[in-house]
Amino acid sequence: MAKAKIEDIRNIAFCGHGSAGKTSLVDHLLVKTGAASGTPSVDNGTSICDFDPEEKHHKYTVEAKLVHFEHQGKRFNVIDTPGYPDYIGQAISALYGVDTAAIVIDAHVGIKVNSRRMFEEAGKAGLGRIIVINKMDADNIDFPGLVNQIRDIWGPRCVLVNVPLGAGANFKGVVSTLKPPSGAAGALLDPAEIHESLIESVVEVDETLMERYFEGIPPTEEELPGLVTRAVASGSLAPIVCVSSKTDVGVPELLDALALCALPPGVLRRTATKDGEEIELTPNPEGPLVARVFKTRIDPFVQKLSFIRVFSGTLRKDEVVHASGARKGVKLGPLLEVQANETKPLDQAGPGEIVAVAKMEDLHTGATLGDYELPPMKFPTPMVGLAVLPKSRGDETKLSGALHKVLEEDPTFRIDRDAQTKEMVMTGMSELHLQLIRERMARREHVEVETKEPKIPFRETIQAKAEGSYRHKKQSGGRGQFGEVHIHMLPLPRGTNIEEFADKHHFPQMKEYHYDETNNFLWINSVVGGTIPSNFLPAIEKGFKERMARGVIAGYQVQDVAVNVHFGKYHDVDSSEAAFKTAGSMCFRNVFQEARPALLEPVVKMDITVPEAAVGDVYSDMSSRGGRVSGSEAAGGGMQTVHVEVPLRSVTTYNRTLSSMTGGQGSYTMDFSHYEVMPPNVQQEVISKAKMEEDEED
Ligand X SMILES: Nc1nc2c(ncn2[C@@H]2O[C@H](COP(=O)(O)OP(=O)(O)OP(=O)(O)O)[C@@H](O)[C@H]2O)c(=O)[nH]1
Least distance in Å: CB of 637 to ligand X? 18
CA separation for the pair 428, 386 (Å, rounded):
9
Q: Which stretch binds Mg ion (CB under 5 A): 23-31, 527-535, 662-670, 678-686?
A: 23-31
Number of amino acids touching ligand X (CB under 6 A):
21
Q: Counting contacts by CB under 5 A, is residue 430 touching Mg ion?
A: no
Q: Which stretch binds Mg ion (CB under 5 A): 53-61, 394-402, 439-447, 617-625?
A: 53-61
Write the binding mask 25 to 44 for ligand X: x where contact by CB under 6 A, - elsewhere. Answer: -----------------xx-
Instruction: Please say which residue, 24 or 177, places its beta carbon nearer to ligand X.
Output: 24
Q: Which stretch binds ligand X (CB under 6 A): 68-76, 144-152, 239-247, 620-628?
A: 239-247
Q: Counting contacts by CB under 6 A, is residue 455 touching ligand X?
A: no
Least distance in Å: CB of 390 to ligand X? 30
Report the partner that residue 43 touches, choosing among ligand X, Mg ion, none (CB closer than 5 to 8 A by kind): ligand X
Least distance in Å: CB of 81 to ligand X? 7
Least distance in Å: CB of 23 to ligand X? 3
Instruction: Please say which residue, 60 or 379, places its beta carbon nearer to ligand X.
Output: 60
Longest dimension (CA), the chain: 104
Least distance in Å: CB of 197 to ligand X? 26
Q: Which stretch binds ligand X (CB under 6 A): 18-26, 419-427, 646-654, 682-690?
A: 18-26
Query: For residue 530, what are the contacts with CB-CB under 8 A and spacing of at least 6?
Result: none
Q: Counting contacts by CB under 6 A, is residue 138 touching ligand X?
A: yes
Number of amino acids touching Mg ion (CB under 5 A):
3
Write the binding mask 142 to 181 for Mg ion: x where contact by CB under 5 A, - elsewhere. Answer: ----------------------------------------
Least distance in Å: CB of 57 to ligand X? 13
Q: Counting contacts by CB under 6 A, is residue 246 touching ligand X?
A: yes
* Residue 326: burial class (beta carbons within 10 Å; 0-12, 13-18, 19+): middle
CA separation for the pair 599, 124 (Å, rounded):
35
**Residues from 483 through 522 that contact ligand X (CB under 6 A):** none
Instruction: Please say which residue, 68 or 459, places its beta carbon nearer to Mg ion.
Output: 68
Residue nearest to ligand X (CB): 83
Of 447, 454, 417, 412, nearest in space to 433 by CA = 412
Query: For residue 274, what are the contacts with CB-CB under 8 A and spacing of at least 6?
Result: 371, 372, 373
Query: For residue 70, what are the contacts with CB-CB under 8 A and spacing of at least 6?
Result: 1, 4, 33, 35, 76
Least distance in Å: CB of 60 to Mg ion? 6
Q: Counting contacts by CB under 6 A, is residue 137 touching ligand X?
A: yes
Instruction: Please say which residue, 409 or 560, places its beta carbon nearer to ligand X.
Output: 409
Instruction: Please say which residue, 61 or 177, places its beta carbon nearer to Mg ion.
Output: 61
Query: For residue 618, what are the contacts with CB-CB under 8 A and spacing of at least 6?
Result: 608, 610, 642, 644, 661, 666
CA separation for the pair 481, 476 (Å, rounded):
9
Least distance in Å: CB of 136 to ligand X? 7
Q: Which amino acid is at 359?
A: K
Instruction: Please say which residue, 41 or 673, places its beta carbon nearer to Mg ion.
Output: 41
CA separation for the pair 19, 493 (Å, rounded):
44
Q: Counting contacts by CB under 6 A, is residue 166 touching ligand X?
A: no
CA separation for the pair 332, 401 (Å, rounded):
24
Q: Kind of pairing, strands 100-106 and 9-15?
A: parallel
* 249 touches 114 (CB < 8 A): no
* 356 touches 363 (CB < 8 A): no
Q: List the one residue from 20, 95, 434, 591 that touches ligand X (CB under 6 A).
A: 20
685: three-class secondary structure by DSSP: helix
* 224 touches 176 (CB < 8 A): no
Q: List the one residue from 9, 14, 20, 23 that touches Mg ion (CB under 5 A).
A: 23
Least distance in Å: CB of 433 to ligand X? 13
Of 347, 342, 229, 348, nearest in space to 291 by CA = 348
* 12 touches 20 (CB < 8 A): no
Q: List the one residue from 10, 11, 12, 18 that touches ligand X (CB under 6 A).
A: 18
Q: Which stretch binds ligand X (CB under 6 A): 16-24, 281-289, 467-475, 536-544?
A: 16-24
Q: Which stretch binds Mg ion (CB under 5 A): 57-65, 144-152, 275-283, 540-548?
A: 57-65
| Per-residue CA distances from 655 to 27, 421, 426, 450, 643 (Å) | 31, 27, 19, 21, 16
* 450 touches 388 (CB < 8 A): yes
Least distance in Å: CB of 86 to ligand X? 10
Q: Which stretch binds Mg ion (CB under 5 A): 59-67, 443-451, 487-495, 543-551?
A: 59-67
Q: Exposed e or buried b for every residue in 229-263, given b needs 16+ CB within 10 A?
A: bbbbbeebbbbbbbbbbbeebbbebbbbbbbbbbb
Instruction: Please say which residue, 134 or 296, places its beta carbon nearer to Mg ion.
Output: 134
Instruction: Please say which residue, 23 or 296, places its beta carbon nearer to Mg ion.
Output: 23
| Per-residue CA distances from 330 to 138, 355, 641 (Å) | 51, 16, 47
**Residues from 61 through 90 that contact Mg ion (CB under 5 A):** 61
> CA-based angle 684:687:693, to the nearest 5?
140
Q: Which stretch binds ligand X (CB under 6 A): 13-21, 147-155, 166-174, 483-491?
A: 13-21
CB-side exposure of 438: number of CA atoms within 13 Å?
A: 19
Strand partners, 320: 331
**Residues from 77 through 116 that contact ligand X (CB under 6 A):** 82-84
Q: Counting contacts by CB under 5 A, is residue 245 touching Mg ion?
A: no
Q: Counting contacts by CB under 6 A, is residue 134 touching ligand X?
A: yes
* 461 touches 600 (CB < 8 A): yes
Report long-range pairs for 522-530 (Cβ below 8 Å, ≥24 apart). 522/492, 522/498, 522/561, 522/562, 522/563, 523/562, 523/563, 523/565, 524/562, 524/563, 524/564, 524/565, 525/565, 526/564, 526/565, 526/566, 527/565, 527/566, 527/567, 527/568
Report the partner that residue 557 touches, choosing among Mg ion, ligand X, none (CB closer than 5 to 8 A by kind): none
Q: Exposed e or buried b for every residue in 21-55, given b needs 16+ CB within 10 A?
A: bbbbbbbbbbbbbebbeeebbbeeeebbbbbbebb
Q: Counting contacts by CB under 6 A, is residue 350 touching ligand X?
A: no
The four Cα atoms 655, 659, 660, 665 give a dihedral, to 10 degrees, of 160
Instruction: Please say which residue, 105 or 522, places its beta carbon nearer to ligand X.
Output: 105
Q: Which stretch binds ligand X (CB under 6 A): 129-137, 156-164, 286-294, 458-466?
A: 129-137
* 559 touches 600 (CB < 8 A): yes
Q: List the one residue from 51, 60, 567, 672 that touches ligand X (CB under 6 A).
A: 60
Least distance in Å: CB of 55 to Mg ion? 8
* 132 touches 254 (CB < 8 A): yes
Q: List the one residue from 244, 564, 582, 585 that touches ligand X (CB under 6 A).
A: 244
Least distance in Å: CB of 108 to ligand X? 8
Q: Which residues bind Mg ion (CB under 5 A)?
A: 22-23, 61
Q: Which residues bind ligand X (CB under 6 A)?
A: 18-24, 42-43, 60-61, 82-84, 134-135, 137-138, 244-246
